[in-house]
């Protein structure tokens, strides 16, 4: 299993309507992407981020489906322009010692074939995590 998570803080001055649209788009990902087995989206407590989301995905094939699914791309296009500070992470019990590199490759292929998504991620005020273009993953 792969637990793919995001934690984020919105830019100052974002309207409640835009915030709710972005959060609903995250919820929609969990409902419509076939490889997502469960998910949670909501306020992030106990840290420096306002919101978070975790999507549970069975395997690497499902992870790639998730990353490239139209619902995920819609969330990127709706939500990333609203985000100031963003962190993504992956937790897995997959025994493959190369799983981290394979996850990073999925992200890189996505950025290489979708320059608009790469630009949105690169424009974030702060990004740490899964293979940000032009930045090193932590």
All residues at 6 or more sequence positions from 58 whose CB lies less than 8 Å from its CB, including other chains: 1, 2, 35, 37
Instruction: Give the pLDDT band (50/70/90) at residue 136.
Output: very low
> pTM, whole model, 2 decimals?
0.92
Q: To the nearest whole percent, how much of the chain has pLDDT over 90?
A: 88
pLDDT higher than threshold 50 for residue 138: no
Instruction: Give the dihedral sign, CA 17/21/120/47.
Output: positive
Q: What is the CATH number of domain 2-128?
A: 3.30.70.100
pLDDT at 131: 61
Q: Where are the domains of the chain?
A: 2-128
pLDDT in tens, 39-96: 999 999 988 999 999 999 999 999 999 999 999 999 999 999 999 999 999 999 999 9
The tokens describing 126, both together, are 């702060």
pLDDT band at 129 (very low <50, low <70, confident <90, very high): confident
What is the C-alpha to C-alpha distance for residues 99 and 89, in angstroms, rounded to an integer?
13
């Amino acid at each position: 299993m792969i637990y793919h998570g995001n934690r984020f803080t919105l830019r100052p001055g974002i309207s409640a309507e835009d915030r709710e649209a972005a959060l609903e788009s995250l919820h929609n990902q969990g409902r419509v992407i076939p490889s997502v087995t469960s998910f949670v989206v909501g306020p992030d407590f106990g840290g420096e981020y306002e919101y978070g989301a975790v999507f549970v995905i069975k395997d690497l094939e499902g992870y790639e489906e998730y990353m490239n699914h139209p619902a995920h791309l819609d969330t990127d296009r709706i939500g990333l322009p609203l985000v100031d500070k963003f962190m993504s992470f992956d937790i897995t019990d997959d025994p493959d010692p190369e799983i981290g590199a394979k996850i990073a490759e999925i992200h890189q292929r996505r950025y290489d074939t979708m320059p608009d998504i790469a630009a949105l991620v690169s424009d974030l005020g702060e990004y740490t995590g899964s293979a940000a273009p032009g930045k090193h993953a932590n």
